[in-house]
Amino acid sequence: MEPRKPSVEELLNKAKEPARKAPAWHAHYRGKVSVALKCAITDYQDFGIWYTPGVAQPCREIAEDPEKVFQYTNKGNFVAVVSDGTRVLGLGDIGPQAALPVMEGKALLFKYLGGVDAFPVTVDTKDPDELIRTVKLIGPAFGGVNLEDIASPKCFRVLDELRREMDIPVWHDDQQGTASITLAGVLNALKVVGKDPTRATYAVIGSGAANIAFVRVLLTYGVPAGNVIMVDSKGILEPGREDLERGKEDNPYKWDYAQRTNAERRRGGMAEALQGVDVCVAASKSGPDVINPEWIRGMAKDAVVFACANPVPEIWPWEAEEAGARVIGTGRSDFANQINNSLGFPGIFRGTLDVFARTITDEMAIAAAEAIARTAEEKGLSETYIVPTMMEWEVYINVAVDVALKAIEQGVARRELSKSQLEERAAQVIKHARQETEILMKQGHISQPPNV
d(CA 64, CA 51): 19
Identify whether 75 is a catalytic site residue.
no
Based on DSSP, count helices (H) and strands (E) in the chain, helices before strands.
18, 10
The kind and range of the H/E element at 204 are strand 202-205
Distances (CA, A) of 109 to 103, 173, 187, 370, 430: 10, 13, 25, 21, 11
Residue 404's nearest CA partner among 378, 370, 362, 368 is 368
DSSP 3-state assignment of 178? Answer: helix
180 and 205 Cβ atoms separated by less than 8 Å: no
Residue 352's nearest CA partner among 365, 343, 339 is 365
**Environment class of residue 281 by beta-carbon count within 10 Å: exposed (0-12), middle (13-18) or buried (19+)?**
buried
d(CA 80, CA 300): 43
Give the helix, strand, coil percentages of the chain, each rounded to 5. 50, 10, 40
d(CA 67, CA 87): 36
Please name the amino acid found at residue 253: Y
Sheet holding 279-282, edge to edge: 235-236, 228-232, 202-205, 279-282, 303-307, 325-330
d(CA 415, CA 196): 36
Residue 405's nearest CA partner among 348, 448, 446 is 348
Identify whether 51 is a catalytic site residue.
yes
Q: Choosing from 75, 106, 195, 406, which is the catalytic residue?
A: 106
Q: How many residues does the chain have?
A: 452
Q: Choosing from 5, 16, 38, 51, which is the catalytic residue?
A: 51
Please name the amino acid found at residue 93: D
Q: How far apart are the first and last CA of the chain?
A: 34
Q: Give me the active site residues, please.
A: 51, 106
